[in-house]
Amino acid sequence: MTSRTISYYNDISGAAHSQADQLVLEFSYTHVACLVKGAESGETEAMEFFTIEDTGAEWSDIFHDIKSQSLLLNRTYRDIHCYYNFEEALLVPASQFSAVAAEDFLSMVYGESSRYEIRQDTIGADSPMVNVYRIKKTIYEQVNRYFLLNKPHHVYSVLVEKILAATDLPDHFIKAVFYSKHFIAVVIKEGKLQLVQSFSYDTKEDVLYHLANLNRQFSLNPVHSQLEISGRFDTGSALHQQLQTLFGLISFDATEPDGIFKTAGDYPLHYFTPFHKLIV
């Protein structure tokens, strides 16, 4: 049902040592990631990544399976942040936001359903936006059962906030965060957010199609545009080489390693950046 495909620990016990440590979790339909930030060290002390092999399984069974394999989830934490990596999300200006409007917006784009919990995150202080998103109740109920008093967020929120806080972005910029079966694209043109959206893919041709279409849709300059990549992406691959024909510059967002990532040499550093940036 699930398998622990990546695990790094700061010592052989493989578990957090203090209830004051921070637990960060990311949930998607294909994976669950767990990270622990030490309260005393201020560094990432452990990480586990679970691949969901049976995406049709009940989420109660998935949670039970993950908890039975995890060396991190058998401890008590007082500081828990849960991030949802699902596509059913929309950004709207804070001035136009209301709970009723949020539900209407989501239903209009993704279809009506009573089987979802609706949440929202506020992004930014100047001209704030609201990221309104929905989570299947079967997932949301399990999260709150296993992780009491957790703080919910959506991955779009932290991704967009960090990008908009940058002061050196080019006029034509796309951020692409890759996972096993989907990637998130954020498009910035002349300092303004144009789009944040998830795209499913099975082949490199799917990725090329989506990114080329974004270039056309937003009239990005192929010579002076920049594509910044993080997540599950192989440098030097055929996809990497073909993307170089679509963008003037391709860069990789490799977070400065801390804690366990200083010695985690099995993967390039940009592989872990999407998860590392979720740590508060």
Specify whether 108 is located in the same domain as 38: no
Decide if 234 is inside a domain: yes
| Residue of 69, 60, 61, 64 lying closest to 3 (CA atoms) | 69
CATH number of the structural domain spanning residue 252: 3.30.420.260
Q: What separation in angstroms does the CA of 67 have from each of 51, 54, 99, 102, 144?
A: 13, 16, 34, 33, 14
Q: Which residue has the higher pLDDT, 167 or 30?
A: 30
Give the best-scoring range by mean pLDDT among 41-45, 108-112, 129-133. Answer: 129-133
% of the chain at pLDDT higher than 70: 98
136 & 190 share domain: no
* Strand ranges (E), 112-225: 116-123, 129-136, 151-154, 172-178, 182-189, 192-200
Q: Is 115 exposed, middle or buried (0-12, 13-18, 19+ CB in 10 A)?
A: exposed
Q: Read off the pLDDT band of 45 (50, 70, 90).
A: very high
Q: What is the mean pLDDT of residues 138-167?
A: 95
Same domain, 181 and 263: yes
Give 15's pLDDT tier (boundaries 50, 70, 90): very low
- Give the domain range for residue 170: 166-274
Are the CB atoms for 271 and 232 separated by under 8 Å? Answer: yes
- pLDDT score of 183: 98
Cα–Cα dist 177/230, whole Å: 5
Report strand pairing: 44-52 vs 129-136.
unpaired
- Residue where a domain terminates, one of 111, 127, 159: 159
User: What is the rounded average pLDDT of the residues 238-260?
Assistant: 92
Average pLDDT over residues 158-181: 95
Residues 131 and 229 in one domain: no
Strand partners, 31: 51
Give helix 59-69 / helix 137-146 axis angle, nearest 10°. Answer: 30
Rounded Cα distance between 105 and 202, Å, is: 29
**Segment 69-111, tens digit of pLDDT:** 999 998 899 999 999 999 999 998 888 888 888 888 899 999 9
Domain count, the chain: 3
Average model confidence (pLDDT) for the chain? Answer: 92
Shared domain check, 184 and 153? no
Predicted confidence (pLDDT) at residue 219 exceeds the cutoff of 70: yes
**Are residues 174 and 247 both part of a single domain?**
yes
What is the percent of the chain with per-residue pLDDT over 90, rounded to a whole number? Answer: 78
Cα separation, 132 vs 102, in Å, equals 6
Same domain, 102 and 53: no
User: How do the residues of the chain divide into helix, strand and coil, expressed in percent and rounded to 5?
Assistant: 30, 35, 40
Can you give the pLDDT at residue 95?
86
Query: Do 22 and 112 sit in the same domain of this protein?
Result: no
How would residue 17 be classed by pLDDT, with cut points 50, 70 and 90? low
- pTM of the model as a whole: 0.94
* pLDDT at position 13: 53
Torsion region of 259: left, alpha or beta (phi above 0 gives left; psi -120 to 50 gives alpha): left
Among 16-20, 133-137, 155-159, the minimum mean pLDDT is found in 16-20
Please report which confidence band the pLDDT of residue 277 belongs to, taking 50, 70 and 90 as the band edges: very high
CA distances from 113 to 138, 155, 214, 223, 271 (A): 13, 22, 29, 44, 35
